[in-house]
Chains A and B, each alone.
Chain A
Amino acid sequence: MDSILSPTIEPSNVLIKPPVDLMDDPLFEPVSIQTANTPSSKVMSDPSDDFVDLTNNITDSPDEEDTAESPVADPEEDNTEIPLDEPAEEFEDIFGSETEAPQEEVVEADVTVEETPTDKVEEASSVTVPPVDGKTGSDEEGEAIETSSDPIINLGADLPAVKTEQPPPASQAFVDPLEDLLSDVSPAAETQQPPPASVTFADPLVDIIIDDSPPAETQEPPRASKAFFDPLEDLLGAVSPATETQQPPPASQTFSDPLVDLLSAAAEAKIATPATVDLFDEEGSDFFTEARQTKPAKQQKSLFGEADEDLFGEPLGATSKKAVSTEPKDKPVKTKAASTDVSNMGGPLQDSTPAEPADLFSEEAVATVPIVKNTSAASSKTNGVHSEEDMDIFAEATVELSLDSPREERKKDVTVAPSTSAAAPLSAAASLVKPQAAALEELEEEEEEEEQEDKFEILVSVKDPEKVGDGMNAYMGYKVTTQTQMPMFRNKTFTVRRRFSDFLGLYEKLSEKHGPNGFIVPPPPEKSILGMTKVKVGKDDSSAADFVERRRAALERYLQRVVNHPSLLQDPDVREFLERDELPRATSTQALSGAGFLKMINKATDAVSKMTIKMNESDVWFEEKLQEVESSDQHFRKLHALVESLVVHRKELSLNTAGFAKSTAMLGSAEDNTALSRALSQLAEVEDKMEQLHQDQAANDTFSFAELIADYIRLLGAVRGSFDHRMKAWQRWQDAQTALQKKRETEAKLLWANKPDKLQLAKEEIAEWEAKVTQYERDFERVSATVRKEVVRFEKEKARNCKREIINYLECLLQSQQQLIKYWEAFLPEAKAIA
């Protein structure tokens, strides 16, 4: 196994070939060519592997499937930390439940990428050989039906589109979740959103079918769009009366009709869009992520464009071909063409589809081209958000479909699905980019990428704090307004009302999902019983107002931080938070009072320090960083105390100035000398103005420094949390290693005792644990890389943020100083006139 592990490319090559044998050349040849030429080759090969796998699975008996799936499942188990024996269930879990973070899935994909190939290679090699003959024709069908047909049937009932995705071994698992998703109209939105994969499937489709958004968007032709379009075209073409389209993929030929469509589509989808593979196939994701990270746009082009061309281009016909060929150059044109193609499609889909597919693609395309990560992420999010509404529409769509002949239906499904899958990969890939920092070497490149991304065109403001309700049940409501140019959002500006616990709820969700992966999730301001009680009691004193304003500003900064985080922005919960009118009431936040929150942080800190003792840190960087974090935490705390006292003094000054102004006014009124009296009352006015100035300065100090520093104290807590998560990953890995060691010892004992019957079992266990160890090690490395990247990002942000704040502060300071000069200059003649 080990030997197979190391050379990823080789296995792929090997894999590529067997499929070729099994299926007709056209499908794989282009892929193989690519492998030779470009870095993407690897990627290409991976999908092909998957395909092989798939085919293998299909060809083989169900047993085989199990084996094939198991490798996939295992890694996922590890990642998700929900060890399920049955792969299918696991998948369901992943997709069905919100709790699973999209990133996790992504991660899984990532992790599995490396592992799976090996497993697959084995399987592929072993499996493929026997089925070679059987693949073509009826044999295949029969087996395929067993494996894939079931899901397909299910899907067909629900939504055929989803089915296309199934080719990967995981497909079966997917089917169920998808079914769930589709069948549940209302909850579906939520369920779909969590995992990007599921989102992508359901949503894009939904978008296409349902979305009424203006076609104008379609006009924005990103490079990526080309790539996507092709598959879509292909798929759509397949739907259209000219069934020829279906045939192009060699795979389809091998399968019998209904299946052929589905499978071919699936195959297409897979090959064309490795992204789809991502979600389901680990290999695809691997390739994708790598490619993405480095040069997302280009890679995609080459991948999709070439692959599509080769595979589907010819059979599809002139239009599609053109589109493909022109793609690289004229993107806008292409998109249009694509959209038109889509519109040409027949059947019930026609009406709804024409504009939407364009829409979908345009969105994604836009995303991919300028800021690959962001936009794509955005698009995926949009999908997630829309999904709820869309679901209804979707249901209708399905009904319509069912009216048609089964075959037609399937075709449509297929067509729709590929498009969705195409879209999905993009978004998925985009989302993958961040989490999958697997290779440290990529770090720097990614950083550069990040820098570009930093110009996020999204601005979140929290305004109009408003007390809702009376007495102790009162709470503060805030208006959250988002301004964005991002295409992932439906509108440029939108406003929702949120209460404080909603903000906390968002954090809960985010930290649960992203924390274990080593992300630094920005923490919200703590709950303050004291402050809130003041507000509730309704005293109109300034401290309550001060509290509200501080919190409002803190919430705004918190949200802006979340939104500025490229990975978090992609989270459907974030989008939901920003866009959805009504949020389900967050309940778990109740217990999270300020003190509790601090305690939590402290606990985490303690845990970290405890674990550090156990962990012999292999990475000097982390060791140093942790110390730095600790010390800067100390510094920040000190600074915070100092600034707070400064602010207190400033406020006092303001108060005293007011007192002086008052006494000056009295002195002036008591004064007999009219000129002096006048001057004194003038002075009183000047002092009143200065009081305001001092007050502003106090606020300036507060918000530029005190609050900023408080933010960073919280953020440092989050940083430590990410270190903690890394530590946990390490611990798991170590535990696994210990377990493996034990197993090996047992094996040795058995060997010595000469008990061959048990020996076999022990060997299997060793293999299992070996896999786990590798898996955990990768997990740890991945988390480490993520943490590292996040810390670097955090530091970069910190420096930049501080600079920005200081500049603001200085501007204010300068301004108030200039105001002061004006006051003095105005008063001087008054003083001189006394004589």
Chain B
Amino acid sequence: MMEEVNEVTSTLSVDIQSIKVTEVVKDGATLTFLIESEKLSGTGVYHVDRTYDDFEWLQQHLFSQEEVSGIQGVIFPPLPVKAQANASAKVIKQLGILGLGEWQAYCKAMETFVRQIAAHSILGKNNAVEIFLTSSDPPGRHRVRKNIFNRLSQAMEGMRNEGHKDVDEFFQTERDHNLVFTGCAKTAAERFLDVVQTEQKIAVACGHFSTALRLCVEQGEDPDQLDFSKVCVKLSEVFESIQKNVTSVAENNVSTLGLGLDLESRYQEAEKEMLNRRTCKLVELETTRRNAEKAKPVKKAAMEEVKKAAETEFDHISGVAKEEIARLQAARVKMLQQALVQWCEKQLLTAKESADQFNQHLQAFRGMA
């Protein structure tokens, strides 16, 4: 959804637009995703199966590209929380809207994740992406682990530095804004999830009611009883339609705006992380500057060297960060717009279909009366 195709100077051998998570297979508690992508050469299709570990491997690999300058300024596409079959309530809660249903939404989110990484101007160039998409051998079953702690400590540091005054006006505003917006996006996604969940409950309740109505049919040849039985059966059908209607409304909600809000919320988090990383770097830089000033003449040159390196790195990061933020802004507006439009169109369609159905039922009842 957020891919910026034009920017891609991809080294990948696959068509990014064709990347799809086609299926999810439950293997015990583990979920395995089947990823399909067309070869750029147009001569075939890659089919790979990846577990959550593989996704994580990919992400870690990208995180740790020390060689790329300004990598810390990249807003990494957010990977959804790890999902499990028979997930605990806590995990489900963390998953939010992605935890609903039979993982369709989750697959969609994973697909978006892969696509965005592949489409990313910096990240897409990493060999790990190619491996992830094409290698029949799952890459991520070993290794890793270490970097996670890196990241965690980083995050902790970020938290500490959250209040640090920024030297750059732009980043200061962006940070402030991001702070507010992350909260809002999260709340909106949660509220929307509530709506969807309630809709699902309604659908279930309608189903029960419909079934119960069918049991109300009276056995009697009496015309009034037959009449009543007919009414019951018909009403049961009505409630089936209502159930279908509500169900599809809920599905529409999830598949469009729900995913959109979820992604938005996670991206805001990712941006926040990036900003935090940058702030950390800023703090680091300031420290080196102070050190350089205070340094004894003997060490002065060395310290200056370090300071310069830090400054360059920070500038790189800031440069990348600025680009990334601008890119994200454009991308998320587009994404949200798409989500809203699709949502609206789908709901409209459902509403019209349901109205038609209700009307038919109504006519049927009028005909009975």
Task: List residues of A whose CB falls within 8 A of some B CB.
Answer: 624, 628, 632, 635-636, 638-639, 642-643, 645-646, 649-650, 652-653, 656-657, 659-660, 662-664, 666-667, 670-673, 675-676, 679, 683, 792, 795-796, 798-800, 802-804, 806-807, 810-811, 813-814, 817-818, 820-821, 824-825, 827-828, 831-832, 834-835
Contact = CB atoms under 8 A, between A and B. Distances in A.
B129 to A, nearest CB: 29
Interface string B345-369: 1011001101100110110011011
B188 A807 contact: no
6 contacts: A628-B218, A646-B209, A799-B225, A803-B368, A817-B351, A831-B343
B341 interface: yes
B213 interface: yes
Given A645-B205, A676-B336, A824-B348, A810 B195 contact: no
A639 B184 contact: no
B208 interface: yes
B88 to A, nearest CB: 24
Nearest to A638: B212
Given A642-B208, A653-B202, A818-B355, A806 B220 contact: no
A667 B192 CA distance: 12
B240 interface: no
B103 interface: no
B63 interface: no
A800 B365 CA distance: 11
Contacts of A679: 337, 340
B238 interface: yes
B90 to A, nearest CB: 21
Q: Which 4 A-B pairs have the closest CB atoms?
A: A831-B340, A834-B337, A660-B191, A646-B205
Contact of A806 (B212, B238, B341): B238
Given A645-B205, A670-B181, A803 B231 contact: yes
B361 A824 contact: no
Interface in B301-330: 329
Nearest to A653: B198
B91 interface: no
B185 interface: yes
A635 B218 CA distance: 10
Interface string B158-188: 0000000000000000000100110011011
A652 B340 CA distance: 24
A646 B201 CA distance: 8
Contact of B198 (A643, A656, A672): A656
A802 B228 contact: yes
Contact of A810 (B185, B212, B365): B365
A333 to B, nearest CB: 41
Contacts of A813: 242, 358
A372 B62 CA distance: 92
B87 interface: no
B227 A670 contact: no
B184 A663 contact: yes
B199 interface: yes
A799 B358 contact: no
Contacts of A814: 355, 358-359, 362
Contact of B224 (A796, A818, A820, A835): A796
B24 interface: no
Contacts, number: 164
Interface string B278-293: 0000000000000000
Contact of B347 (A670, A824, A832): A824
Contacts of A807: 362, 365-366, 369
B355 A799 contact: no
A813 B242 CA distance: 9
Contacts of B190: 663
B206 A646 contact: yes
Nearest to B211: A642
A444 to B, nearest CB: 12
B67 interface: no
A203 to B, nearest CB: 37
User: Mostly helix, strand, loop or mixed at chain A's interface?
Assistant: helix
B231 A799 contact: yes
A468 to B, nearest CB: 38
B362 A649 contact: no
A814 B224 CA distance: 27
B156 interface: no
A670 B199 CA distance: 28
Contacts of B181: 667, 670-671
A750 B288 CA distance: 132
A628 B348 contact: no
B215 to A, nearest CB: 6
Contacts of B341: 828, 831-832
The residue among A643, A799, A800, A835 with the most chain B CB atoms within 10 A of its own CB is: A799
Contact of A653 (B180, B199, B218, B225): B199
Given A650-B202, A795-B224, A818-B355, 18 more contacts: A639-B212, A642-B212, A649-B201, A670-B184, A675-B333, A679-B340, A792-B224, A795-B222, A798-B224, A798-B228, A800-B369, A802-B228, A802-B235, A806-B231, A811-B362, A817-B358, A821-B352, A825-B348
Nearest to A796: B224
Contacts of A672: 177, 329
A835 B337 contact: yes
A799 B227 contact: yes
Contacts of A666: 184, 187-188
B334 A835 contact: yes
User: Mostly helix, strand, loop or mixed at chain B's interface?
Assistant: helix
A635 B366 CA distance: 25
Given A656-B195, A670-B180, A834-B340, A628 B188 contact: no
A270 to B, nearest CB: 41
Contacts of A670: 177, 180-181, 184
A645 B209 CA distance: 10
B366 A831 contact: no
A649 B202 contact: yes
B223 to A, nearest CB: 9
B224 A806 contact: no
B198 A652 contact: yes
Given A672-B329, A817-B358, A824 B351 contact: yes
A377 B230 CA distance: 35
B225 A795 contact: yes
Nearest to B348: A824
A817 B188 contact: no
A646 B190 CA distance: 22
A666 B184 CA distance: 7
A803 B369 contact: yes
B199 A663 contact: no
The residue among B220, B234, B365 with the most chain A CB atoms within 10 A of its own CB is: B365
Contacts of A667: 181, 184-185, 187-188
A662 B212 CA distance: 37
Contact of B369 (A646, A675, A804): A804
B344 interface: yes
Contact of A824 (B206, B238, B344, B365): B344
A327 B190 CA distance: 81
B351 A799 contact: no
B188 A664 contact: yes
A672 B222 CA distance: 68
A800 B225 CA distance: 11
Contacts of A646: 202, 205-206, 209
B258 to A, nearest CB: 11
A683 B340 contact: yes
A660 B333 contact: no
The residue among A632, A639, A800 with the most chain B CB atoms within 10 A of its own CB is: A639
A799 B234 CA distance: 12
A634 B128 CA distance: 64
Contacts of B337: 676, 679, 831-832, 834-835
B184 A660 contact: no
B216 interface: yes
A828 B344 contact: yes
A673 B181 CA distance: 12
Contacts of A835: 333-334, 337
